[in-house]
Amino acid sequence: MCLAGGLGAVTTRNVAHAAIFLLLSLGAVAGVFVLLLADFLALVQILIYGGAITIVLLFALMLTRLEEFSRVADNSQRPLAAIVALLILGVIVASVLGSGQMVGVLGKTGIMTIGSELFTQWVIPFEIASLILLIALIGAIIISRTEEKE
């Protein structure tokens, strides 16, 4: 389901459908966390990524003007992008299979360890990500505003 949602998100032409496919993919990742017995990470995945990020994306879509995108044509570099994506997928698969280890430590990681890591080592990247999302939402609002001359 995760791969199907990801493929649907990148292959569909409708941006609202891409957001729904993204939600499907993020929900499937939460299911993987449940299978790894990492219930806290699954809950965070559903609440933050599945809920908040998708809602911000949909608000940004609703606030943009459709006229701005009417001049956008299909990109001629699509085959090159597909080749590069397949090469990156090959590198990722080779690195996972070549390591000889699977990610099985998530179930043994406690909430205290996760909380400690989030609020010490990863607090700056999370704040930067939230700032970028806020800037994107403000940008969507500015783009959607009608100018007084119109």
Measure CA of the first residue to CA of the last residue in the chain; give whole Å. 45
R_g (Cα) of the chain, nearest Å: 19
Q: Is the pLDDT of residue 101 over 80?
A: no
Classify 75 as helix, strand or coil: coil
Q: How far apart, in whole angstroms, are the C-alpha atoms of residue 39 and residue 81?
A: 36
- One-letter amino acid identity for 55? I
Where along the chain do its domains lie?
2-144
Decide which of 113 and 124 is more confident. Answer: 124
Architecture (CATH level 2) of domain 2-144: Up-down Bundle (1.20)
Q: Confidence band (pLDDT; 50, 70, 90) for 45?
A: confident
